[in-house]
A and B are shown apart, each in its own frame.
Chain A
Amino acid sequence: MSPVTRWLKPATTAYAHCDVPCGIYDPHQAELAARTVARMVELIGQLPKENASEADRAKFVRCISIKEQHAEIVKHEIQVIWSDYFKPEHVERYPDLHDRTWKILKLASKNKQNIDAAAAAELEAAVKEYADIFWSTKK
């Protein structure tokens, strides 16, 4: 995209929401959300453990809230790709697809509940693999 086009491109999207699948799916949103979860866990870890200032406490709350929101976004995006995009032939090709989906949803919930860098990294990796599978079916 040229710099001019990038400058012209609106930052926001308005959905002419329709009920039929439009055939436009993209796991990028899920990957971004998973990355955000991991980043929030990182930021929370950097906050002082004791004698936190008001600003630190505010930041803590903000990070927690963003972490939970984005874990929820991961769940939503993955569910949409799973239920609306993947077809039986994809499941034939990737027999563990349902299991992978289920595990990502579980992992996202775990990340929502806990502040756990290992779980966040696991989620990021699992979503990345899911995205790879998605793109492989587009070839």
Chain B
Amino acid sequence: MADHSVESGAGGRSSGVSVSTVGRAPTFSWERARDGTWRVAVAEESMAPALVAGDWLLLDPTSGRWPRRGSVVVFHEPETGLLAIKRVAAGPGDRVRISAGILRLGPDEAWLLGDNRAVSVDSRRYGPVPVDALVGRAWFRYAPMSRFGPIPGRGDLRSDR
């Protein structure tokens, strides 16, 4: 299995930037609503057991901001550009403990982790993800019927593990 340690190179980019503008960023845009992705199918298992391959989800693509910690988001994975789904472990301005020290996230950055830490390829591999890569927040599972229902957030999530 590959090494999951965080690359320290991800750190310097936007740390130390003021986060005071975050609260005023637009939360809704008609363009995003029109062009956005509203539904996705899940593949692979790094979000198990919360989400498993074959789940069909509804997204909210209208927001241009990272949702609160514990939310599940779909985004373009850095490096590959593939659509990926992970959980927000830390949001803009938060501090993340990594092997190289403490990383302060920039005003548009989030730290995204898969629930299944041992196998997940996530921010520990590719670093913080800018909000430009955000596609939408996954909020509801409409198939399979046996798992029909809203996707719970995780309030207990800590950003450093």
Say which residue of A10, A11, A16, A19 sits within 8 Å of B84 (CB atoms). Answer: A16
Question: What chain A residues lie within 8 Å of B19 (beta carbons)?
Answer: none
Is the CB of B74 closer than 8 A to any CB of chain A? yes
Would you list which residues of chain B between 36 and 95 have a CB under 8 Å from chain A? 37, 39-48, 51, 53, 56-57, 74, 77, 82-86
Question: What chain A residues lie within 8 Å of B48 (beta carbons)?
Answer: 16
Is the CB of B25 closer than 8 A to any CB of chain A? no
Is the CB of A18 closer than 8 A to any CB of chain B? yes
Is B122 in contact with A17, judged by CB distance below 8 angstroms?
A: yes
Would you list which residues of chain A between 33 and 78 have a CB under 8 Å from chain B? none
Say which residue of A9, A14, A20, A24 sits within 8 Å of B83 (CB atoms). Answer: A14
Is A17 in contact with B82, judged by CB distance below 8 angstroms?
A: yes
Question: What chain A residues lie within 8 Å of B120 (beta carbons)?
Answer: 16-19
Q: Is the interface of A mostly helix, strand, loop or mixed?
A: loop
Chain B residues with CB under 8 Å of chain A are: 1-2, 37, 39-48, 51, 53, 56-57, 74, 77, 82-86, 114, 116, 119-122, 135, 138, 142-143
A sample of 21 inter-chain contacts (CB < 8 A) reads A8-B56, A10-B56, A12-B37, A14-B41, A14-B43, A14-B74, A14-B85, A14-B138, A16-B86, A16-B114, A16-B120, A17-B46, A18-B114, A18-B119, A18-B120, A19-B1, A22-B44, A22-B45, A22-B53, A24-B44, A24-B53
Given contacts A14-B138, A24-B53, 17 further A-B contacts (CB under 8 A): A10-B40, A10-B57, A13-B43, A14-B40, A14-B84, A14-B85, A15-B82, A16-B43, A16-B44, A16-B84, A16-B116, A17-B46, A17-B122, A18-B45, A19-B2, A22-B44, A24-B44
